Structure 1
Amino acid sequence: MAPYDIRRYQDHDWETVRELFSKGMLENVSYDFWPILKKTRVILVFLGVPFAVVLWSGSLVLCLLSLFGLLAGLWLYFRHVIKQYVYNSLNTDLLDIQKSFLSGRDSSFWVAESEHQIVGIIGARPAKTLIGGGKYQELVRLSVKRSFRGKGMARTLVRTVLQFARDQGYDGVVLETTCSNHPAHRVYESLGFWKSHETGYYLNWWLGFLSVWHYQCDFSPQA
């Protein structure tokens, strides 16, 4: 892997940062899609609809077509959900990165640059809620270009946020990630994060919730 440097975000990075975030989210759709197929409601629908088609038509071909149609429809719907999340992100904190992350001392945004190209991004800002009475930073918008993944860049970016939080006198760092993003889990856990709890993002009545894991890293008094 080519050498890279971590530096603070600058205004001329705006378009590239947004593009890297968008591509990263859409590339990860498949990681989050397959666990949904294991949900009980989804399995019942995937079994029940083709069975009903067979009873109604007596055609195995229509049964298979209905099964593939359900799968394709589910994929397109889930991709739409992720694209909507990306759209909302691009029109909130990533619309004005300077204002969202660099207008005060308690937040920041960094890029990883290799051969004059941005290949990784990450942000940090104060967590919205108190965690056990402590003051925590929230790690957000971590994304690494596909060709640089699995080579330690994500770990370096996360360490940047951890050091920033320590320097600012925070008690630790929190973050959210989907339950199926196992490569990210390994990175976070290797750096001292632990899963504090789990919530869900509601999709619809038969898909239920997309499981979201909440990670937390606590600094010791000596850190």
Structure 2
Amino acid sequence: MTSIKIRRYEDDDEEEVKEIFTLGMSEHVPTSFVHLLKQPPTQMLLVCVFCALLTSSKSLLLPILAVTLLLAAGRQLVSYMFSSYIQVSLHRDLNNIRQTYLEQPNSFFWVAESQGRVVGTVACLPAEHHADCLELKRMSVRRSHRGLGIAKTLCRTVADFTRERGFPAVVLYTSVVQTDAQKLYEHMGYTKVREFLVPEFFAKICNFTLFEYRLDLQPSDK
């Protein structure tokens, strides 16, 4: 098995960390597009446009073309959502990891290293909406190194850090399309406590839901 080392983030890791995050988020575009297509309003729109154009034009080509264009527009909408989120995340904290995570109390950023290469990341900081909790952030593992237990080790690292600092729980947020992440967190003992729509307009159109998970810690946990 490949040797994996979990260590503190260093400034030289910045570009690899950004790459892992960007690639990881971009992977969810196809799944999110399928999620959009499964929504009843989307299906209704496509059917209505197809039927209306078929009735009015008496031609099959025009409604097929129109539906194709709508599908392409939907795919672009989903891509735009994720591109915007990536840019906001880079601006908010990933362009200045040291200041955000390493120079603030009860915050930290770890990387998983294999053969001198960063293959995974995770961070934590005080939860914005839960004063007694730390929030797990920026969990991502390169596709080439998944299935090796890296994500589980990173989860445990955050839990240990949280416990050592006397906080009773870890919280995190993941999305409806990140099914593998949901399974991982539930396997690690997290409980889903809330779900809500992303407030942005385009996300509401897509019915893009976020899940809040919580892991309650005990001093004796190992």
TM-score scaled by length of structure 2: 0.93
**1:32 offset after TM fit, Å?**
2.4
Q: 2:21 — aligned with what?
A: 21
Q: 1:197 — aligned with what?
A: 194
Partner of 1:192: helix, strand, or coil? coil
Aligned counterparts, 1:1-223, within 5 A: 1-130=1-130, 135-201=132-198, 202-204=200-202, 207-220=205-218, 222-223=220-221
2:9–2:109 contact (8 Å) kept in structure 1: yes
Sort the Cα spacing of 1:205 and 1:161 in 2 relative to 1 into closer, same or farther, 3 A: closer
| Corresponding letter in the other structure for 2:217 | F
Consecutive unaligned residues of structure 1, counting only runs of 5 or more, are: none
Q: Deviations over 1:152-183 (max 9, x none)?
A: 11111111111110111111100011112111
**1:206 offset after TM fit, Å?**
7.8
Sort the Cα spacing of 1:94 and 1:120 in 2 relative to 1 into closer, same or farther, 3 A: same
**1:204 offset after TM fit, Å?**
3.4
The list of structure 1 runs, each at least 4 consecutive aligned residues, that deviate by more than 2 angstroms after superposition, is 202-209, 220-223
Distance of 2:142 and 2:99 partners within structure 1: 25
**1:105 offset after TM fit, Å?**
3.7
Consecutive unaligned residues of structure 2, counting only runs of 5 or more, are: none
TM-score scaled by length of structure 1: 0.93
Sort the Cα spacing of 1:86 and 1:47 in 2 relative to 1 into closer, same or farther, 3 A: same
Sort the Cα spacing of 1:107 and 1:207 in 2 relative to 1 into closer, same or farther, 3 A: same
CA-based RMSD of the aligned residues comes to 1.6
Q: Which moved more, 1:190-199 or 1:23-32?
A: 23-32
Distance of 1:143 and 1:137 partners within structure 2: 18
Distance of 1:42 and 1:90 partners within structure 2: 31
Identity %: 35
**1:203 offset after TM fit, Å?**
3.8
Q: Which moved more, 1:113-122 or 1:25-34?
A: 25-34
| Corresponding letter in the other structure for 2:216 | D
Q: How many residues align?
A: 220
Q: Deviations over 1:43-71 (max 9, x none)?
A: 11111111111122111122222222111
Partner of 2:139: helix, strand, or coil? strand
